Chains A and B, each alone.
Chain A
Amino acid sequence: MIQAVMVISTQAKPRLLKFYNFQPPEKHQDLVRGVFQLLSARPDSVSNFVEVDAIFGPGTKMVYKHLATLYFVFVFDSSENELAMLDLVQVFVETLDRCFKNVCELDIVFNFNKLHTILDEMILGGQVIETSSEQIMKSVEEIARLEKQSSTTSLIPKSISERFSR
């Protein structure tokens, strides 16, 4: 089972946190810090798997991808296939890319709840629900359309019109 999905910036800021095993909110930041410390110590050339028994309990591993200024981290237990998890990270990133057209950190910062929508279409209760980014996008777009219809104030802007300095 997948235990957590995290997106952390290279500045150690959490950009997306989703736990499928309950973690008390006051622990979240510690987890982010612990994961980031492991990640930042790893050079690019090494494998994408890290054992995280110390952070998430016995038998847990995480797989990560480092893309531009972001780390995409999936934490899972021994019942999952490591290589498949790596592919799943890829699916997630591809879906984001489709959704935001060349996704960058700012898209993710300002649309964090759209990320949740995407994630909920992909993983449910720690299990993979859909692995086709096209199918995921279909559902997400449908949800966005529904929101627009019934509300004047859209919470999920399609794209960011302005760019801000960081």
Chain B
Amino acid sequence: MDLAINPFSSWHPLRDMIRSIRACKTAAEERAVVRRECAAIRAAISEGDQDYRHRNMAKLMFIHMLGYPTHFGQMECLKLIAAAGFPEKRIGYLGLMLLLDERQEVLMLVTNSLKQDLNHSNQFIVGLALCALGNICSAEMARDLAPEVERLLQNRDPNTKKKAALCSIRIVRKVPDLAENFMGAAASLLKEKHHGVLISAVQLCTELCKASTEALEYLRKNSLEGLVRILRDVSNSSYAPEYDVAGITDPFLHIRVLKLMRTLSQGDADCSEYINDILAQVATKTESNKNAGNAILYECVETIMGIEATSGLRVLAINILGRFLSNRDNNIRYVALNMLMKAIAVDTQAVQRHRATILECVKDADVSIRKRALELVYLLVNDTNVKPLTKELVDYLEVSDQDFKDDLTAKICSIVEKFSQDKLWYLDQMFRVLSLAGNHVKDDVWHALIVLISNASELQGYSVRSLYKALQACGEQESLVRVAVWCIGEYGEMLVNNVSMLDIEEPITVTESDAVDAVEVYLKRYSADVTTRAMCLVSLLKLSSRFPPTSERIKEIVAQNKGNTVLELQQRSIEFSSIIQRHQSIKSSLLERMPVLDEANYLVKRAASMQATVSSVKSAPAVTPGGQLKLPNGVAKPPAAPLADLLDLSSDDTPVTTSAPTTAPNDFLQDLLGIGLIDSSPAGGAPSTSTDILMDLLSIGSTPVQNGPPTSNFIPPGIAETKPVPVTPQVVDLLDGLSSSTSLPDGNAAYPTITAFQSATLRITFSFKKQPGKPQETTINATFTNLATTTFTDFVFQAAVPKFIQLRLDPASSSTLPASGNGSVTQSLSVTNNQHGQKPLAMRIRMSYKVNGEDRLEQGQVSNFPAGL
């Protein structure tokens, strides 16, 4: 339709404008038309045009609906309302409701017109005014006009009465104090016959009960009988075509009455008893083959659940919901699930009986129903039914929509973690979830899984084999790949050798190169993200030590990534290549298995981070690298004694008074570093393996080792975000420095005596002796001198050394140090440096003693050992 647009189109009828807007082919055209129309309307407004005012307003409302600004028409509405004619008033009120809102000052100007119209002789004009008032009335207007509305409640005309009743609702909402003025009139309206009036009156009563307790008490006394009568009448009455919806007489009235009954009887035993019979009648007699009937039943069930109903009535209600659940109509099932959510608080057992049906609803085609059902299932899980329910949910995970997997996975993980009774079951469920929906699993969930595997030493073999199998089948699930790759790296030999087989397992044959293949695939896969690939690199590095025959191949794979465009991977590759090529001697100890991760600690941290916002969870990894960086920096500064710095136990809360090497599981610092804290007693359990602690730390990237306060966030090992990388080159340099600086000493050379420790009160000197032909072994003769003026008693000397050193302490000559240097105590230490010639000696020492019965403690580090020890 080709319409010439007249610039003065305010003379065009509304229909022409709609037509020309509809004829627009593009949004730009539409805007142009609307702009022209608006310009014309503005012109007409400023000319004070009266004849077309209401037509212009009608146009403006259409334009408003399309989303264009129309505020300039607001004053016109007021003028139209003030006009005498019906069409003007009608459009005026319509415009008032659509274009204005209660917050605008302009609204105050309309109060007077409204007052006049409420008193108008034409009931339709009164109706318009009531309608407008009911929709937009403000608190001030409510106060001004309440008397008029109150009076209209007694009007003869039912149309006016029902509108006045609903208008009162708005007034009471705005000014609850006015509730008492309306309660008498509201109660008497319940005696009316007209259904529309009854519905409005019942709604007004409900609102009054909410607004004021006085009204609630009043209506309990005065309206309950009437309500029961109304309900009986409508449910027994013969066919009333006017209010019939699908064969049921006025379901809306039913529903409103039931709702008001609920409001009145909540927490009131007498009222509840009074309506017991009628509720039972409605619940049993209402036909449930139509939507309208079900709507009534649904409301009836809600009322039964909400009041002090008898148990028989409750059973009836739950049974109705059971019927709803098996209904084929989606809408009915949806509301049934909704109601069961509420019913679960009243009677969990009754809801449990419908578990199977609810579980079916989780698999429904309809998102609304699925979500509801899943929420409900989550509430229904308990210790006894968790296994079958989880199985069902996990089975469904396989076939569910992609969109739904997020919700479903989160709920399953939450259930599994909350109700897991044994670790094997937990692992099995998690592996299945990872295989089916690994891409939907949240980070904290698989982090927790790794922590658990690390703690379950008897299940590590099983885990790595299961994950390996899962990896072959479902390698596209990102978090499955991560967990599997981590486990292969840590427990690779358990995979190959079938270590600690469980009875339920079938043995699998995996060769060393198969394991390397599995990891390599994901390192090279294009779609894998940086984190996964970084984890692959760490895993490969670890495998190169677990499976020496594959070392050459791994070296090549790692070397291929030296040119990777992702900085993270590039750095890792370069560092790892360097470890493989140049630090063979330390590699095996460096790449030892991770220490057991502290489960309790992790759970606490996880709970804390869950409470924080999502953004802070995301930023958590960024916090940790800061903490990590501290450590190597500290190392780099005093290059002479890097290890001693690392061993800085004083910054940790770990008690060091243990007399034997501690193996307490949470004492990871000592554990990790392999420090034997050695007392005067012979230290038989001193660790024997040599290691490069620094490298171990870096490749693992686990936070427990950091020197900072133990509050930092947990990061699972081997994850890219931990960014050990920027510091690693330093460390590599450091090592190079160390190895080059240690010139091979002459085994028989005499070593100077050093002052190992000196404070205001205590001095310790070390003198050294070496047996010919045993360059690794050194006997240190320590001499303790008391510089203070009081005698030290209970003197105990302790020393800690890195893993590559063995230390034996002989008993001291005495435990009492005389004051003022009058005599000294000696003690000899035997030290074996397993990396003699590569690493210098390092030692951390601690002295405890009593002064006048008071405990004293001093500690320090010895870093000035002569070269060649």
Contacts and interface: CB of A to CB of B under 8 A. Distances in A.
Contact of A83 (B1, B58, B70, B295): B295
A107 B1 CA distance: 18
Given A46-B368, A125-B170, A164-B1, A130 B298 contact: no
Interface stretch (A66-74, A95-103, A146-154): A146-154
B333 A47 contact: yes
Interface of A is mostly: mixed
A126 B213 CA distance: 23
Given A86-B295, A151-B85, A129 B335 contact: no
A113 B17 CA distance: 14
A155 B162 CA distance: 27
A125 B200 CA distance: 11
Contact of A124 (B87, B135, B253, B292): B135
B124 A142 contact: yes
A113 B203 contact: no
Nearest to B250: A131
Ranked nearest first, the 8 interchain pairs of A and B with the lowest CB-CB distance are A83-B295, A47-B330, A46-B366, A125-B134, A29-B67, A124-B166, A151-B87, A130-B196
Contacts of A14: 65-67
Interface string A106-127: 0001101100110010001101
Given A47-B331, A84-B252, A129 B19 contact: no
6 contacts: A116-B98, A130-B196, A131-B195, A131-B199, A146-B124, A155-B14
A21 to B, nearest CB: 10
A58 B60 CA distance: 32
A145 to B, nearest CB: 10
Interface in A70-105: 79, 81-84, 86-88, 90-91
Contact of A46 (B15, B259, B330, B338): B330
Contacts of A16: 65
Interface in B130-183: 130-131, 134-135, 159, 162-163, 166-167, 169-170
Residue among A20, A83, A88, A120 with most chain B CB within 10 A: A83
B242 A135 contact: yes
Contacts of B256: 128
A87 B291 contact: yes
Interface in A32-70: 42-43, 45-51
Interface string A15-31: 11110101011001100
B292 A46 contact: no
A124 B163 contact: yes
Given A83-B291, A131-B195, 6 more contacts: A45-B366, A46-B366, A129-B162, A129-B196, A146-B124, A153-B55
B245 A91 contact: yes
A82 B14 contact: no
Interface residues of B, number: 78
B567 to A, nearest CB: 38
B243 A110 contact: no
Given A45-B365, A131-B252, A165-B1, A83 B335 contact: yes
B547 interface: no
Nearest to A88: B252
Interface string B52-78: 001100100110111101100000000
Nearest to A13: B66
Contacts of B127: 139
A47 B334 contact: yes
A159 interface: no
Contact of A87 (B13, B196, B252): B252
A166 B245 contact: no
B85 A150 contact: yes
A112 B62 contact: yes
B406 interface: no
Contacts of A48: 330-331
B637 to A, nearest CB: 53
Contact of B58 (A24, A42, A47, A155): A155
Interface residues of A, number: 61
B18 interface: yes
A76 to B, nearest CB: 13
Given A131-B250, A155-B58, A84 B124 contact: no
B22 interface: yes
B299 interface: yes
Given A120-B131, A125-B135, A132 B331 contact: no
B49 to A, nearest CB: 14
Nearest to A45: B365
Interface of A: 14-18, 20, 22, 24-25, 28-29, 42-43, 45-51, 79, 81-84, 86-88, 90-91, 109-110, 112-113, 116-117, 120, 124-125, 127-132, 134-135, 139, 142-143, 146-147, 149-151, 153, 155, 157, 164-166
A38 B70 CA distance: 28
B291 A22 contact: no
A82 B299 contact: no
B590 interface: no
B495 interface: no
Interface in B574-625: none
B255 interface: yes
Nearest to A154: B87
A62 B252 CA distance: 18
B366 A47 contact: yes
A165 B514 CA distance: 69
B163 A46 contact: no
B91 interface: yes
B774 interface: no
Given A50-B368, A110-B18, A155-B58, A83 B103 contact: no
B367 interface: yes
A20 B366 CA distance: 29
B65 A150 contact: no
B369 interface: yes
A48 B295 CA distance: 14
Contacts of B13: 153
Interface string B485-519: 00000000000000000000000000000000000
B55 A155 contact: yes
B809 interface: no
Contacts of A43: 365
Contacts of A50: 368
B102 interface: yes
B79 interface: no
Given A47-B334, A82-B334, A139 B159 contact: yes
Interface string B251-276: 11101100100000000000000000
Residue among A143, A153, A155, A165 with most chain B CB within 10 A: A155
Contact of A164 (B14, B22, B292): B22
B94 interface: yes
B368 A150 contact: no
B432 interface: no
Interface string B840-861: 0000000000000000000000
Nearest to B102: A22
Nearest to B210: A79
Contacts of A142: 124
B163 to A, nearest CB: 6
A82 B124 contact: no
B134 A87 contact: no
B809 to A, nearest CB: 68
Residue among A18, A28, A130 with most chain B CB within 10 A: A130
Nearest to B137: A125
Interface in B447-505: none
Interface string B333-376: 11100100000000000000000000000000111110100000
Given A124-B167, A127-B200, A164-B19, A116 B94 contact: yes
A22 B103 CA distance: 9
Nearest to A27: B67
A129 B252 contact: no
Given A47-B369, A125-B134, A82 B331 contact: yes
A29 to B, nearest CB: 4
Contacts of B122: 146
